Amino acid sequence: MPLVVQKFGGSSVADATSIKRVAKRIVETKEAGNDVVVVVSAMGDTTDELLDLAASVTAKPSERELDILLTAGERISMAILAMAITELGVTARSYTGQQAGVLTDAAHGKASIVGVVPERIARTIQEGGVAIVAGFQGVSENQDVTTLGRGGSDTTAVALAAALDADVCEIYTDVDGLFTADPRIVPTARQITSITSEETLEMAAHGAKILHLRAVEYARRYGVPIHVRSSFSSKVGTWISNDDDSQSEESSMEDPIIAGVAHDRSQGKITVKGVPDVPGAAARLFAVVAGAGANVDMIVQNVSSSATGLTDISFTLPEADGEATLAALRAAAGDLGYADLRYDDQIGKLSLVGAGMRSHPGVSAKLFGALFDAGINIEMISTSEIRISVVTRAEVLDDAVRAVHSAFDLDSSDSEAVVYGGTGR
Amino acid sequence: MPLVVQKFGGSSVADATSIKRVAKRIVETKEAGNDVVVVVSAMGDTTDELLDLAASVTAKPSERELDILLTAGERISMAILAMAITELGVTARSYTGQQAGVLTDAAHGKASIVGVVPERIARTIQEGGVAIVAGFQGVSENQDVTTLGRGGSDTTAVALAAALDADVCEIYTDVDGLFTADPRIVPTARQITSITSEETLEMAAHGAKILHLRAVEYARRYGVPIHVRSSFSSKVGTWISNDDDSQSEESSMEDPIIAGVAHDRSQGKITVKGVPDVPGAAARLFAVVAGAGANVDMIVQNVSSSATGLTDISFTLPEADGEATLAALRAAAGDLGYADLRYDDQIGKLSLVGAGMRSHPGVSAKLFGALFDAGINIEMISTSEIRISVVTRAEVLDDAVRAVHSAFDLDSSDSEAVVYGGTGR
């Protein structure tokens, strides 16, 4: 019998009515001849409410206690969902992360899964029941409750699917799947029917919010097929497949060159001016940046002026890391010997992603041409094998996304996707 | 260093303000030179809210799922309390029933503790921290979460105190301690400063609501001294001591004869009329009653009329068991061969409790005399070594309690207790 792992997020189980709808879908999947394992998040705003409660007694809660507290959320949703399924005449049993055998390291609040031993889940399936598992949580070696960080329920679902050798891991969300661009910016964005996990990773890493990065990495490593779909319809969503499968000769002939256009507004840019252009200067600079905990994305170094022997170095990083990084650089000013420091949080990043660009030359040229035609200036460029990213001014980012989306023929002739454009701009 | 186990109920941790107050008291106890282990219930109405949520998806929730659901309540309160204590500069760590080593049988919703292995609690104390433990919950042999039933947090506290060989188990409540009678009925009721666990058991079993019966039984079996006191003051409350201690020659000389007067309005009376007075008739009758799950309290059999060879049998039982028991008796009417069946839910029960009555004859006579003087008719009588119970009409029960309380010189000359009389009548 095929085994399906289904993951429902907080908005899918926000109240009793939603939970009953989800229960109905699970029972339908079961009655269609599948074994079903369900991973569920906390109901609606439960997590935020618990965080507020913690904030009312302390400004700096212990991470261990915060994990204990937050996992109460899934405990409630999983039990209520199991009851709702049982009410429909199908046996269902709920399991905490610990009971489901989700073993993690001890990094409270952002734990990594180190193993999954889902004995009780497997037994429940064998006995013909539906197993409901609390997402987002696990247990450390010393029997403490841990959480995987926000969005960790996706990772729980994929990890369980891998451990149980499931046929598919279905991630239910409030949209129909992944799109070639954010439909709020590009009303003609198309739903993607099939994408590789490598492309999905690049999209997610560069601003596409739909899936948790770690979940896709996990799926890629263990070869778990993911099906991202809507919890409000039974339409086919987006299949995220193993890279190897889709790179077989047969399929690569028909695959589109470009998967989609991602954008990211959450980055800032630091420019360090007048850095002595001597060996080791850049290494010292980025050692200071790394010491501040910043996750550097793109780096550009200007050609040195031979007259002064000085150069400028620019790099992007999450805005959240901006202050701390600037402070660390200022503290190390004497050691680094730079002339000036500038911070710019008005940048936008556009990333064109596609496994097909590996074997198709000219993609960069076409991208730069499209932006030139739209009158948009490029400030920084970085590339990987299957991605080209450019930094622009923040205020022209939306125009840039639309221009590139059109240039690569990603616009839908179908008007359906327009629904998602809504008033989101 | 003395070890104190403190138990705080839901009303003591109803909101952030209450939790901070409780945290302060715990820190004070710690700083006064004690090791402290805390057992906490769910915040305020959390349990009822979770029950409502369950009721919104099913009328008959699985008991296993209900236990998973309800234990989310203590998970929240214990984590928040640990945070609030840490905020005051004292290390605190919270533990679920499972983490605290509270092992139970698998009777979901009413599990019994089969063992307590509080290794992590002991380690936390050794390291100088305060351990917070979720009350009311444990884990069964097959790693399922169980609950001990309502009021089970008292039992958790006593069981932990026994396993850790604590010096005292403090049960915090919203009154100052145990009273010689319900102050809402007897405004002159006195706070009891010291009482034996045997007396407390009789009081609790016959209507005094302050402590969970099982907790007192547990404390008696393992010799745990309990101190029932107010979470709103630092006054000494009521000490419940080991029977052996207080029955030593020295103390028994000074002990009062009577501990207090309990009352119970929750019983009903079934009278089976015209039962054949032959050997085995009563046995057959009560086999039927037991089969209906009823917990029979008092039984009276009239003297048989030699003319008819028939007798009447009356017994009391919780009103909640009334319908099912009547149905079972009606179904067995042919077999039992009785003439008529009557049910009366307008009865009240008064119980006079005191270990001292063992060695003081005449207590019954004085009780019956007091009721006669007050013009109150006695319908049934039952006695144990340290208790006399009588059944009266429900509408005269309050008068009966006051008359007996006065007759045995239990009235306080102190006006303080009057506070508790309030408008409760």
Instruction: Write out pLDDT tens, residues B160-197.
Output: 999 999 999 999 988 899 999 999 999 999 999 999 99
Q: Note the pLDDT of residue B420.
A: 33
pLDDT > 90: what percent of chain B?
72
Q: Note the pLDDT of residue A289.
A: 92
Search chain A and give the residue with CA nearest B100.
Answer: A143
Phi, psi of B94 (to 5 degrees): -100, 150
A162 with A143, same domain? Answer: yes
Q: Note the pLDDT of residue B418.
A: 36
Any B CB within 8 A of A27 CB: no
Residues of chain B in contact with residue A20, where contact means CB-CB under 8 angstroms, are: 57
Any A CB within 8 A of B48 CB: no
A329 with A355, same domain? Answer: no
Q: Which of A190, A221, A253 is the last residue of a domain?
A: A253
The C-alpha of B13 sits at a distance from chain A's nearest C-alpha, in angstroms, of 12
Q: Note the pLDDT of residue B277.
A: 83
Chain segment B37-91, per-residue pLDDT in tens? 999 999 999 999 999 999 999 999 999 999 999 999 999 999 999 999 999 999 9
Cα separations in angstroms, B241 against B170, B200, B248: 12, 10, 12
CATH code at A325? Answer: 3.30.70.260
For B17-148, where are the E strands, in sequence order?
Answer: 35-40, 92-95, 102-104, 113-116, 130-134, 137-140, 145-147
What's chain B's length in residues?
A: 425
Rounded Cα–Cα distance for residues B145 and B111 (Å): 10
B39 assigned to some structural domain: yes
A120 with A170, same domain? Answer: yes
A45 with A190, same domain? Answer: yes
Q: Which of B62, B75, B93 is the closest to A82 by Cβ?
A: B62
Search chain A and give the residue with CA nearest B22.
Answer: A57
Q: Note the pLDDT of residue B414.
A: 56
Rounded Cα–Cα distance for residues B218 and B197 (Å): 10
* Average confidence (pLDDT) over B266-286: 89
Does the structure show a pLDDT above 90 at B255?
A: no
Q: With an 8 Å Cβ cutoff, are A62 and B120 in contact? A: no
Q: Which of A292, A310, A344 is the last residue of a domain?
A: A344
Q: Note the pLDDT of residue B204.
A: 83
Chain segment B194-227, per-residue pLDDT in tens? 999 999 988 888 877 778 888 998 999 999 999 9
Any A CB within 8 A of B50 CB: yes
Residue A344's DSSP bridge partners are: A269
B338 assigned to some structural domain: no
Q: Note the pLDDT of residue B79.
A: 98
Any B CB within 8 A of A84 CB: yes
B191 assigned to some structural domain: yes
Q: Which of A75, A119, A143 to mutate to test the interface with B (most CBs of B within 10 A)?
A: A75
A313 with A196, same domain? Answer: no
A181 with A281, same domain? Answer: no
Among B56, B51, B95, B55, which Cα is nearest to B69's? B51
A261 assigned to some structural domain: no
Q: Note the pLDDT of residue A356.
A: 84
Q: In a 3-state reduction of DSSP, which class is residue B130?
A: strand
A66 with A158, same domain? Answer: yes
Structure-model confidence comparison of residues B298 and B415, the more confident one:
B298
A206 with A335, same domain? Answer: no
Q: Which of A323, A344, A365 is the last residue of a domain?
A: A344
Any B CB within 8 A of A89 CB: no
Among B236, B237, B256, which Cα is nearest to B246's? B256
A236 with A297, same domain? Answer: no
B269 assigned to some structural domain: no
Residue B300: which pLDDT band, with cuts at 50, 70 and 90?
confident
The C-alpha of A62 sits at a distance from chain B's nearest C-alpha, in angstroms, of 7
A161 with A227, same domain? Answer: yes
A333 with A377, same domain? Answer: no
Q: Which of B76, B144, B145 is the closest to A72 by Cβ?
A: B76
Q: With an 8 Å Cβ cutoff, are A86 and B64 in contact? A: no
Per-residue pLDDT of chain A (425 residues), as tens digits, is 999 999 999 989 999 999 999 999 999 999 999 999 999 999 999 999 999 999 999 999 999 999 999 999 999 999 999 999 999 999 999 999 999 999 999 999 999 999 999 999 999 999 999 999 999 999 999 999 999 976 799 999 999 999 999 999 999 988 899 999 999 999 999 999 999 999 998 888 887 777 888 899 899 999 999 999 998 888 999 999 876 554 444 444 555 689 999 999 999 999 999 988 888 888 899 999 999 988 888 888 877 677 778 888 999 999 999 999 999 999 999 989 899 999 999 999 999 999 888 878 788 889 999 999 999 999 999 888 899 999 999 999 999 999 999 999 998 865 443 333 223 22
CATH code at B178? Answer: 3.40.1160.10
A241 assigned to some structural domain: yes
Number of domains observed in the structure of chain B: 1
Q: With an 8 Å Cβ cutoff, are B69 and A62 in contact? A: no
Q: Note the pLDDT of residue B243.
A: 63
Residues of chain B in contact with residue A96, where contact means CB-CB under 8 angstroms, are: 68, 145
Cα separations in angstroms, B51 against B161, B196, B368: 30, 36, 45
B42 assigned to some structural domain: yes
The two three-digit tokens of residue B246, written as one number: 């207080």
B72 assigned to some structural domain: yes
Q: Note the pLDDT of residue B271.
A: 93
Name the residue range of residue A245's domain.
3-253
Does the structure show a pLDDT above 70 at B247?
A: no
A183 with A77, same domain? Answer: yes
